[in-house]
Chain A
Amino acid sequence: MRTVTFIEAITEAMKEEMERDERVYVIGEDIGIYGGVFKATRGLQSLFGPMRVIDSPLSENLIVGSSVGAAAMGLRPVPEIQFSDFITPGMDQIIQQAAKLRYRSGGSFSVPLVIRVCCGGEVGGGLYHSQINEAWFVHCPGLVVIAPAFPYDAKGLLKAAIRDENPCIYFEHKKLYRSIKQEIPDTDFTVPLGKAEIKRKGKDVTIVAYMLMVHKSLEAAEKLAKEGIECEVIDMRTLLPIDKETILESVKKTGRAIIVQEAPKTGGVAGELSAIITEEAFEYLDAPIKRVTAPDTPPIPFSPPMEHFWLPNADKIIKAVKETMAY
């Protein structure tokens, strides 16, 4: 066992998969010579050369679209989108090509690629370097949407995604890159796609979250435990397909559910999870489901007071839990 940061876990996963399988290559902006703006691909080009660690032009449509073509020819591309804010020029290739090529070819083509996307706020990145837009992709059947919160899961899920036959989009929260460390095994391991995990056991209320919000939820749970409220914290890890069972089983036990999402409220993952609980566990609920989310404004305002006001945090989660408990 050894301790690694979130970003080290990601780098290790790519390096090990590239060593294991020569079909794996990475492509993106500033990822080769520079090693990535956050250094996720640091050292890879000197190990694997410029044809497996490709510095692309400023062309997100090309970064994704060329990866679809290479995947269709049997390679396993891992394209990087530098900031989720810059993913929009690549949307056509993600939605119309990556997600649909298998379906529209009657299962003839496989598109085994993993689009790594750096996302998220609380770093003062402002309107175009902080977005969190995972819900756009959750509404896109054919994709697997991955959103880890811990280094172990980040490494294991990235490895599993690279080995998977489906097109995956893998969100990396930039706030977690160097703020979260964890012990991980030295041996090869993967984490199954499509499975949530309970990160803290509790009997009073279920808190469902992902990425940075898992840590905010655990912080809230720690404080609430001192007041005698035991929260069960579920880390979704994969946002599509949704692991309904883990959520429903927990809610059936606690009878109360809080869903935390960093993104704006309307049309998000939290609404979807809330609908699932209402449809499939309504009679177990002792209180209405509560969503703790950002407001419905463009994400995320730049100035610190506004960013702080905007983002969900432990205090907002604590308030929601108390309201739910008091219902």
Chain B
Amino acid sequence: MMSTQPQKRVIPEPPSKLKTYFTFFIILLLIFGSAIQTNTSITELIAGFPNMMDLLVQMVPPNWSYFGKIVPAMLETIRMALLGTTFGAIIAIPIALFSASNIVKNTWVFYPVRFILNLIRTIPDLLLAAIFVSIFGLGPLPGILALTIFSIGLVAKLTYEAIEAIDPGPMEAMTSVGANKIQWIFFGVIPQVLPHYISYVLYTFEVNIRAAAVLGLVGAGGIGLYYDRTLGFFEYDKTSSIIIFTLVVVLIIDFISTKLREKLI
């Protein structure tokens, strides 16, 4: 069917596949290395599978009467998340302003502030909680502090990015009417970023509720403590009621928060 002289055509050289092979090799190496490092064994998983099924079977039906007992702990969890988010959100405001390159024009200010902000964001909340527990002892206080620091990192980062994206027009207008720096921020910047800021705070609250629910595992208050307790005593039906209760609370708060955020923007 095709009858053009095939001898005459010049077929281009295919590009080298060396880079592709090399990348695949590196990825395979990483995966196998990781498997060895973590003592991964499929046989162990299969052997342990009945154990897990057993555990899952024991989790149903959940112990419904346990709900009453954990309500105070759940309220404490919400309280921790609320306070941690609030404190963090307040402290985040000046940090966000100092990190934004269109507010503080001095490179020597906003780069170091951002650097510290990034450092804060590298430490997971549960580790912060563990450290605070060893400073302040058991209870919700270390949990609140850990969530505060975590919230500073998240709110400040999102907010300073929002500040850098605002319309410079109103800020120029404020400069031209002779406003000082504080007036300039209050009338030129804050009205523009406020809806974003509130939305980020709500989002952080959603994240913090989930985080607060497990902080108890290191003794930092909230419902997480009860995971340890029930799993330690092999009361899996109680564990599943904690999980379900937490899921319900998380979903309700997510729902409310999402609705509020939709209205804001």
Q: Tell me, yes or no, whether A binds B.
A: no
Q: B residues touching A (Cβ–Cβ < 8 Å)?
A: none
